[in-house]
Amino acid sequence: MYIHREGKNYVAIGIVIFSVLNLLNYFFLSSYWWLYYPILILTFLLLVWVFWFFRIPNRTPVTGDDLALSPCDGKVVVIEEVEEPEYFKDKRIQVSIFMSPLNVHVNCYPINGKVDYVKYHPGKYLVAWHPKSSTENERSTIVVSNSKTSLLIRQIAGAVARRIVTYSKVGDDAKQNGELGFIKFGSRVDVYFPLGTDIQVAIGDIVENNTSIIAKI
């Protein structure tokens, strides 16, 4: 396991804040154990959470030209046929994965291919599971295509997540399991598949990027 580059500044700031607060805590409150120890424990748990949030675990990635992998860690909350109005402008199968603040928050390409489209949209901060979050929240849309399929991946900010980072640029080579971005502090990722795609997950399934197969293409 290691700390993602998006988290290095947060970790450094967290260590500084933890150290300063607990030095002050020691000098001014150490004789008041009923205050000293709860503050020490709470600040330590917050620091551990910062490390935990930005962790990247060691995994053996799954690969396959006929597979679409999960773009993130989280829980499958939506599988439905919808109209995709931004890029394809036709009916697609939407698979939505909700990431809690405890999940790994790096986002990865589900397939190999070429990045055809990237667009950032400012917007609201509705809770990530809200039905309108896909079209009204702050979000970033990436389309990846290869000879077998074309997928739209949408990073969506939530009520807590207010920082979307997208590394993808039009013309980039998308490498399956390669990083396309990062969303900080709880969020959601939608993937839009062509109708007829063999979806391999069900609502409520827990998935991981790099290892969970969400569809066969």
pLDDT tens per residue, range 188-202: 899 999 999 999 999
101 or 162, higher pLDDT: 101
User: What is residue 126's predicted lDDT score, i.e. its pLDDT?
Assistant: 60
User: What is residue 41's predicted lDDT score, i.e. its pLDDT?
Assistant: 94
Q: What is the CA radius of gyration of the chain?
A: 20
Residue 129 has pLDDT above 60, yes or no: no
pTM: 0.85
Provide, rounded to the nearest whole percent, the portion of the chain with pLDDT above 70.
90
User: What is residue 21's predicted lDDT score, i.e. its pLDDT?
Assistant: 93
Residue 161 has pLDDT above 60, yes or no: no
Mean pLDDT of 175-183: 93
User: 116: burial class by Cβ within 10 Å (0-12, 13-18, 19+)?
Assistant: middle
User: What is residue 94's predicted lDDT score, i.e. its pLDDT?
Assistant: 97
Which residue among the candidates 70, 168, 187, 212 is catalytic per the annotation? 187
User: CA-CA distance, 205 to 95, in Å (whole number)?
Assistant: 11
Residue 158 has pLDDT above 70, yes or no: no
For residue 180, how many other CB atoms are within 10 A of its CB? 26
Confidence label for 125 from pLDDT (cuts 50, 70 and 90): low
> Cα separations (Å) of 159 from 26, 51, 106, 133, 142?
35, 21, 18, 10, 22
pLDDT tens per residue, range 14-39: 999 999 999 998 888 888 889 999 99
User: CA-CA distance, 173 to 116, in Å (whole number)?
Assistant: 10
Give yes or no: 187 in active site: yes
The whole-chain average pLDDT of the chain stands at 89
What is the DSSP track for the chain?
-EE-GGGHHHHHHHHHHHHHHHHHHHHHHTT-HHHHHHHHHHHHHHHHHHHHHTEE--------TTEEE-SSSEEEEEEEEEEETTTT-EEEEEEEEEE-TTS--EEE-SS-EEEEEEEEE--B---TTSTTHHHHBSEEEEEEE-SS-EEEEEEEE-SS---EEE---TTPEE-TT-EEEEE-SSEEEEEEEETT-EE---TT-EE-TTT-EEEE-
Residue 163 has pLDDT above 80, yes or no: no
